Amino acid sequence: MKTIGKLAKELDINIETIRFYEKKGLISQPLKPENGYRLYSTAVADKLRFIAKAKALGFTLNEISSLISMENNCVQVESLGLQKLDIIRNKISDLQRLERVISEMTNSCKANQDHSCCPIIDSLK
């Protein structure tokens, strides 16, 4: 059992982040004793680690909430994972398209002999 400050320090997150997750319902806030500090269990610490790992994989807080609620339903988790994978693949495709366009634009700058105008600026007008 740890205070919010010790838990935040151990997990390298802000106290405000823990409070935000409590407000969002991702973790439960322990009861405050009459004289003392709230103490957070190892279960809460484990859930905070889970949230951090899921965020690092690009899951939103809403998706993480869904994952937590689906903990014992691998079929639903797989479906959410496949949806996320589809979003990631679409983003990769969009980024590759942008890379090609910007590469072509910068190549047109290299080939430009007229320094009074810029092909990139002209194409954006």
CA–CA dist 53, 66 (Å, integer): 15
What's the CATH number of domain 1-57, 3.10.20.30, 1.10.1660.10, 1.25.40.80, 3.40.190.80?
Answer: 1.10.1660.10
CA–CA dist 75, 116 (Å, integer): 60
Residues with pLDDT less than 50, the chain:
none
Q: Tell me the per-residue pLDDT of 34-69, one tens digit each, with 9 for 90 and over.
A: 888 899 999 999 999 999 999 999 999 999 999 999
What is the domain partition of the chain in residue ranges?
1-57, 70-111+119-125
